[in-house]
Structure formats: C-alpha cells, structure tokens
C-alpha cells in the first residue's frame, strides 16, 4: 500500500525567449490574467485562470539552467497539509541525490528538488496568506506548526500585497469576472 500523501498538479514555470508575446498569447487567446509581475528586465510573469490559484503558469525570461535546455523550470504539486509536506520531506531525505531545499514563498511552504534526470520539482502546501511574488526565503520544517506559522508571518507581514489568502482570492475572483 502506498503511504505517500495525495498530490495535485498545481502549475508549470516555463523559460521563454520573449516574454511579451507569450504574455499576450496566454492572456488574449487563452483568457489568463496576470496576477503578479516581478520587476526589472528578467521579471517573472504570473498568470492564472482560476480564482483559487495565484498562478497556474509562470513565464520566466531568464535562460534555462537545465543542462538539456528544457523549457520547463519546474513542475509543481500541492499537498493538503504541513504533515503531508513533512512526510514528503522525510521520504526525500532518504535520497541523497534529491538535494532538497525547503523554502517559503510567503503564500506556500515548498520543497524543491530534482529527479534522477535533473527535472526540477516542487511539492508545496499553502499558507493562510498572500504576498506579491516573487518571494522566497529558507524555512525550517522542523518547527512546530504553530511556530512555523508565527515565524513565517513575521517574515512577510510588511511585504507588498500581504493579506489573508481568502481576501486575495475574493478580489482575484472578482477581477476574473470583469
């Protein structure tokens, strides 16, 4: 019997050569909405069609770091609870090749690692907050749930866009309807 937590496909991040026509294609022809954008010449563009998802697709204008020039930066899966995330983390820690990095994006607690063919994967669980993206900082999953919640909120409370995720989802749903 498989004891692994259920994982739901969440989003893809694609390396793109020219972000402007890609953004136009996904927004004009497929109905995606830009939900966030980084700053500077290598700004990530976050897009979604789902009122419950901050992003389903990320356009990344930086050159691929993948040795085989894959257009995919990473494939992301959502788990339901911190307990599930910790179970995946524990399982991955038995694989020396995985080189797991635990981080927070303010909106999530995430594990990043590579499979045997160097494809980058993310497994994450949502936090109760929203902050503007991109946002990323290391996190200690050995903290208790309560301590991790308090510590993470302290890190993001003053960041742009900070709010309760339900507030953000309500606003996002309204903007998608307009």
For 49-62, how does the pLDDT look when each residue is reduced to its tens digit (9 = 90+)?
Answer: 888 889 998 989 88
User: Confidence band (pLDDT; 50, 70, 90) for 162?
Assistant: very high
pLDDT of res. 68: 62
| Percent above pLDDT 90 for the chain | 47
What's the token pair of residue 73? 């930066």
pLDDT of res. 1: 44
Q: Is the dihedral of CA 120, 152, 134, 81 positive or negative?
A: positive
Return contacts of 47-52, CB within 8 angstroms, 24+ apart.
47/23, 48/172, 49/176, 51/169, 51/172, 51/173, 51/176, 52/169
Q: Taking a C-beta distance cutoff of 8 angstroms, is the pair 70, 64 a contact?
A: yes
Q: Between residues 99 and 98, which one has the greater pLDDT? A: 99
Mean per-residue pLDDT of the chain: 88
The Cα 131–Cα 133 span in angstroms is 6
Q: Taking a C-beta distance cutoff of 8 angstroms, is the pair 123, 146 a contact?
A: no
Q: Is the peptide bond before 134 cis (omega within 30 degrees of 0)?
A: yes
Q: Taking a C-beta distance cutoff of 8 angstroms, is the pair 131, 161 a contact?
A: yes
User: Confidence band (pLDDT; 50, 70, 90) for 134?
Assistant: very high
Domains, the chain = 8-177 (3.10.180.10)
Lowest mean pLDDT among 91-100, 130-139, 157-166: 91-100
How large is the average pLDDT for residues 98-123?
87
pLDDT of res. 115: 73
Q: What is the pTM of this model?
A: 0.73
How large is the average pLDDT for residues 149-156?
98
Judged against a pLDDT cut of 50, whether residue 38 lies above it is answered with yes
Judged against a pLDDT cut of 70, whether residue 47 lies above it is answered with yes
């Amino acid at each position: 019997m498989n004891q692994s937590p259920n994982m739901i496909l969440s989003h893809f991040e694609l390396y793109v050569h020219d972000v402007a026509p890609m953004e136009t294609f996904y927004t004009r022809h497929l109905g995606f909405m830009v939900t966030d954008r980084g700053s500077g010449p290598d700004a990530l563009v976050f897009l979604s069609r789902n009122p419950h998802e901050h992003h389903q697709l990320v356009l990344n204008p930086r050159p691929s770091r993948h040795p085989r020039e894959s257009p995919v930066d990473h494939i992301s899966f959502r788990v339901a609870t911190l307990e599930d995330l910790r179970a995946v983390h524990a399982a991955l820690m038995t694989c020396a090749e995985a080189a797991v990095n635990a981080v927070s994006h303010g909106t999530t607690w995430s594990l990043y690692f590579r499979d045997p063919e160097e494809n980058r994967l993310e497994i994450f669980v949502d936090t109760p907050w929203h902050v503007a993206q991109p946002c990323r900082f290391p996190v200690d999953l050995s903290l208790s749930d309560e301590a991790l919640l308090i510590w993470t909120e302290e890190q993001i409370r003053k960041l742009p866009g900070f709010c309760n995720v339900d507030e953000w989802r309500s606003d996002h749903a309204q903007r998608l309807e307009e």
